[in-house]
């Protein structure tokens, strides 16, 4: 199938761990299926593979046998900062039955994503927020606009997001793909140090030093909202190091003082 035809298919974000079988490579390659369409998919892995290599993998389907997908690597990109290879795979040799099964799977995944987003937009009238959500709301949130790198355990690829607020209990992010609640994710970000200006003389030592990169584990909370083709999700920190929450608290307090000075 020509690349121009493949681009005509809807591309469904996946972020699914797969075992990629590659012609000429004995052991399966640990990889992540980033997105999927009727004509191919985008796969990331830390293993270097040759252009035009025949590949195949099994697509798990709930309550149904796995769907085997086969094709060739048509494009290879290396991402130095993530030490990850990105492969564009074009499917080949599919029967009409297999093609229909793949398209049905993609449609169901699309419906699921839309359903999750809609549930996030709805405000239940009698439902009580979860304990974790109540705990997060008890912490003072500070609006931010800082880049965040997100990794999922045992998945080689790294996602980019933007934190739109942060607290000692968690954060809200703007991201292109929905994070599932069962995933334990790791966030890396650096809090802006400009809120510390004017505090250096009053807060000597560590309290006046610039913020360093924070690495912290989190899980997504229920509820997703859509905004301009992206998703807003709330995250809660998971067993955070007290030193990290102390740094976030230092940022929160400095931001509050800076806001009072501007008032």
The predicted-structure confidence for 208-260, as pLDDT tens digits, reads as follows 689 999 999 999 988 788 877 788 999 999 999 989 999 998 998 888 887 77
* 218 and 136 within one domain: yes
* Cβ(157)–Cβ(32) below 8 Å: yes
Question: Structural domain of residue 212, as residue ranges?
Answer: 131-262
Structure tokens at 228: 């301009």
Confidence (pLDDT) at 263: 55
C-alpha 55/C-alpha 235 separation (Å) is: 36
- Residue range 12-37: average pLDDT? 89
Contact between 140 and 167 under an 8 Å Cβ cutoff? The reply is yes
Q: Which of 242, 92, 240 is nearest to 171 (CA)?
A: 240
| pLDDT for the residue numbered 138 | 47
- For residue range 148-175, list pLDDT tens digits in order: 999 987 777 788 999 999 998 999 999 9
Both 103 and 192 in one domain: the answer is no
Contact 189, 158 (CB under 8 A): no
Average of per-residue pLDDT across 192-221? 76
Task: Kindly tell me if the per-residue pLDDT of 4 is higher than 90.
Answer: no
Whether residue 117 is found in the same domain as residue 8: yes
Residues 135, 96: one domain? no
Q: Count the domains in the chain.
A: 2
Q: Is 161 among the domain residues?
A: yes
User: Is 211 part of any domain?
Assistant: yes
pLDDT at 255: 86
Residue-level pLDDT at 166: 94
- Note the pLDDT of residue 5: 44
List pLDDT tens digits, range 61-78.
888 899 999 999 999 999
Q: What is the pLDDT of residues 50-64, one digit of tens each?
A: 999 999 999 998 888
140 domain-assigned: yes
More confident residue, 198 or 16: 16
Which stretches of 46-191 are assigned E, i.e. beta strand?
54-61, 64-79, 84-91, 142-152, 158-166, 170-175, 185-190
User: What does residue 108 show for φ and ψ, rounded to 5 degrees?
Assistant: -65, -40
Mean pLDDT across the chain: 82
Residue 138 in any domain: the answer is: yes
Please state, in angstroms and rounded to a whole number, the distance separating the CA atoms of residues 59 and 35: 12
199-to-218, 244, 263 alpha-carbon distances in Å: 30, 20, 17
Residue 105 shares a structural domain with residue 173: no
Residue 19: HSE in the Cβ half-sphere, 13 Å Cα cutoff: 7
**CATH number of 82's domain:** 2.40.10.220
Concatenate the DSSP letters of all residues of 2-21 into one string: -HHHHTTS--EEEEEEEEEE
Flag whether 174 is in a domain: yes
How confident is the model at residue 234, as a pLDDT?
92
Domain co-membership, 254 together with 140 = yes
Lowest mean pLDDT among 88-97, 98-107, 205-214, 221-230: 205-214
pLDDT over threshold 70, residue 262: no
Separation of alpha carbons 8 and 196, rounded Å = 50
pLDDT number for residue 228 = 75
Q: Phi then psi for 52, rounded to 5 degrees? A: 75, 5
Interatomic CA distance for residues 183 and 186, integer angstroms: 10
Q: Does 220 lie in the same domain as 163?
A: yes
């Amino acid at each position: 199938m020509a690349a121009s035809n493949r681009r005509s298919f809807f591309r469904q974000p996946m972020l699914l761990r797969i075992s990629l079988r590659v012609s000429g490579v004995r052991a399966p390659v640990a990889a992540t299926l980033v997105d999927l369409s009727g004509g191919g998919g985008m796969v990331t892995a830390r293993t270097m593979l040759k252009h035009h290599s025949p590949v195949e993998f099994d697509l798990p389907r709930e309550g149904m046998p796995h769907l085997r997908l086969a094709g060739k690597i048509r494009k290879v990109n290396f991402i130095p900062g993530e030490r990850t290879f990105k492969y564009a795979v074009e499917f080949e040799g599919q029967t009409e039955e297999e093609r229909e099964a793949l398209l049905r799977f993609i449609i169901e995944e699309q419906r699921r994503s839309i359903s999750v987003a809609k549930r996030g937009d709805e405000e239940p009238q009698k439902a009580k927020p979860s304990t974790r959500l109540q705990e997060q709301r008890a912490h003072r949130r500070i609006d931010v606009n800082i880049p965040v790198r997100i990794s999922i355990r045992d998945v080689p690829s790294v996602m980019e997001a933007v934190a739109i607020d942060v607290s000692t209990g968690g954060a809200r992010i703007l991201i292109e793909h929905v994070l599932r609640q069962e995933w334990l994710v790791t966030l890396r970000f650096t809090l802006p140090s400009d809120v510390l200006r004017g505090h250096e003389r009053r807060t000597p030592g560590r309290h006046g030093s610039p913020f360093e990169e924070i690495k912290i584990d989190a899980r997504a909370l229920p509820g997703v909202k859509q905004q301009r083709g992206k998703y807003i999700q709330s995250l809660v920190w998971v067993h955070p190091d007290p030193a990290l929450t102390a740094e976030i608290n230092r940022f929160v307090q400095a931001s509050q003082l800076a806001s009072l000075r501007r008032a």
